[in-house]
Amino acid sequence: MTEPSRPEPARKPEIGRRLNTPRAAALAGVLFAILFTVALVLMRLSLPDHLSPTADWLDDAAVTRLTIGLSLVPFAGIAFLWFMGVVRDRFKESEDQLFSSVFIGSGLLFLAMVFVSAAIAGGIVATVPFVADAASRVEVGNFGRAVMLQVSNVYALRMAGVLLISLATMWLRTGVMPRWLSFVTYAVAIVLLFVTTLSLWATLIFPAWVFAVSILILIQNYRRRADVAPQ
């Protein structure tokens, strides 16, 4: 009698190669810092320091600056998403779920409120030219400016401060980045939480921090590549 044929063992599914983060992905942070800084400067130059019940600040020059600045905000937001991915990727398996959830949530809230603030400014630019009455034009412009700054300076930047606190804490615990950068990040977070309401220009400290961190990551990636090449 012939022996019954044994069933062939099931083949294991082939596992594809792990997708690694491109070393130059940190350039997204540099791009965000440049675009966001230019957009902020253009928008801040268009807004008056203090509201006036009679002065119409929405002249042709202000509208032009606002329009250019608003056109850069979506691309800055896209670059910021990539920057968050690059920062998170450096933790690998040492990522803490609690602080990582706070980091992701605060970053997305920051970005969402930046978009809302920009949408309000865009609504002002699109609506005011159709307001014929001068007094009503001033009222619409002042109301839009106040809401825009409340969303961006009071809420969005405080979410950015929470993002920095969670990120600095993870850096301290894991040693992924230098300790001095963690303490600098804590200091920047304090400024974003308490000082930004005192000065409109204090907002620029956040893109400056993103630029510095991105350059540091690029340097570390270059050194790592230089160390691996001889081996």
**Does residue 230 lie in a domain region?**
no
pTM value? 0.81
- Over residues 164-178, mean pLDDT: 90
**Does residue 30 lie in a domain region?**
yes
**Does residue 15 lie in a domain region?**
no
Structural domains counted in the chain: 1
The answer to whether residue 202 scores a pLDDT higher than 60 is: yes
**133-147 pLDDT, tens per residue?**
777 777 877 888 888
**Does residue 84 lie in a domain region?**
yes
**Does residue 16 lie in a domain region?**
no
- Over residues 94-112, mean pLDDT: 88
**Does residue 209 lie in a domain region?**
yes
Burial class (CB in 10 A: 0-12, 13-18, 19+), 170: buried
**Does residue 7 lie in a domain region?**
no
Domain hosting 84: range is 25-218
- Over residues 64-92, mean pLDDT: 90
- Amino acid identity of residue 213, one-letter, is V
- Over residues 158-177, mean pLDDT: 91
Burial class (CB in 10 A: 0-12, 13-18, 19+), 29: buried
**Does residue 13 lie in a domain region?**
no
Q: Report residue 203's pLDDT band, with 50, 70 and 90 as the boundaries.
A: confident
- pLDDT for res 114: 93
- pLDDT for res 35: 95
